[in-house]
Amino acid sequence: MKTISLGTSGLRVPAIAIGCMRLNGLDKAKAQRFIHTCIDLGANFFDHADVYGGGASAGACETLFAEALGMNSLVRENVMLQSKCGIRPGVAFDFSKEHILASVDGILKRLKTDYLDTLLLHRPDALMEPEEVADAFTALHNAGKVRIFGVSNQNPMQIRLLQKYVPLPIAVNQLQLSITNAAMISQGLHVNMQDDAAVNRDGGVLDFCRLNDITIQAWSPFQYGFFEGVFLGSEKFPALNAKITEIAAKYGVSGTAIAIAWILRHPAHIQPVTGSMNEERIKDCVKATDITLTREEWYAIYMAAGNTLP
């Protein structure tokens, strides 16, 4: 498995992260097999959130992960754990110091570990007081509970505001990105144009993260819309699937591998976060790390998805 640097943290991580949002859809035996398959493939970076499991089952994915892995101090050193906090479902986004500290304690208890490699703030909080976040991050870092910090779905100004007060570097920004959800790329191609693709909806977050050595983690790399479905095999994207199938045949891999290779080809060193609980699909994702699409192939896939060049 190829590795990349996680922001400026100095930590080398697998080029592919394993998203655990759907882990509680497996029973313990299947979860155990899935997790160990990932580790054997070198994909030992696992992405969690305190709300994964949904509703009354929030946190269930973290609990099942620790149980299935048989978490102990020796096992812990073989995996990298990331989790997120800040969402109180149906109530509020909450970046208060009290909520962050309590959330991390809950995460650590469920994962049966003393520390997280990475903690992300899960979506922006309109009432964020950056001084409180700074106090929380500093306390967690000094206590050895969290090593690296990041955010999720934040624009450049929100990150700059946070970084003004937080003495620790923001290493990660987790953002939605796929072949069919590529607005952050399209706006950079349509500069000075009058079409819809030229609209800057995120403050130039892609270039901002590159300029500031912040690793973008791409969530939902196979989804179109906002969890509307997977574009691979979808009748809504015939041209895209035909092009992916053509290029996949050239490299002797599946369409899944090509969809991930498309993200990996971008020079920002983006880390895709898979969401599948299918072991074969994870194997296909890992194969993508050995593929470097040509410039012509990358653009052909981009345009087959309905994206245009000015």
**How does pLDDT run across 8-54, given as a tens digit for each residue?**
999 999 999 999 999 999 999 999 999 999 999 999 999 999 999 98
CA distance 153 to 49: 14
Q: Which domain holds residue 25?
A: 3-235+259-291
Tokens of 229: 């479905």
CATH number at residue 276: 3.20.20.100
- For residue 111, being part of any structural domain is answered with yes
Residue at 80 is within a domain: yes
Share of the chain above pLDDT 90, in %: 97
Residue 162 confidence (pLDDT) above 80: yes
Place of tokens 């796929």: 178
pLDDT in tens, 168-213: 999 999 999 999 999 999 999 999 999 999 999 999 999 999 999 9
- To the nearest whole number, what is the mean pLDDT of the chain? 97
CA 203 to chain centre: 19
Domain count of the fold of the chain? 1
pTM: 0.97
CA dihedral (167, 171, 174, 175) positive or negative: positive
For the four alpha carbons of 234, 189, 184 and 137, in that order, the dihedral sign comes to positive
Is the pLDDT reported for residue 56 higher than 80?
no
What mean pLDDT do residues 67-74 have?
96
Predicted confidence at residue 99, as pLDDT, reads: 98
Show the DSSP H helices in the chain as ranges: 28-40, 60-69, 73-76, 97-111, 130-142, 156-165, 183-189, 205-211, 238-251, 255-264, 279-287, 295-304
- Does residue 271 lie in a domain region? yes
Average pLDDT of the residues in 261-289: 98
| 283 domain residue, yes or no | yes
What's the CA gap between 249 and 170, in Å, rounded? 39
Task: Taking residues 145-154, report their average pLDDT.
Answer: 98
Does 71 map to a domain? yes
Residue 305 lies in a domain: no
Residue 203 is predicted with a pLDDT of 96
Examine the pLDDT at 114 and tell me if it is beyond 90.
yes
Per the domain annotation, does 174 fall within a domain?
yes
pLDDT at residue 57, as a whole number: 85
User: Is 246 within a domain?
Assistant: no
Q: Which residues are catalytic?
A: 52
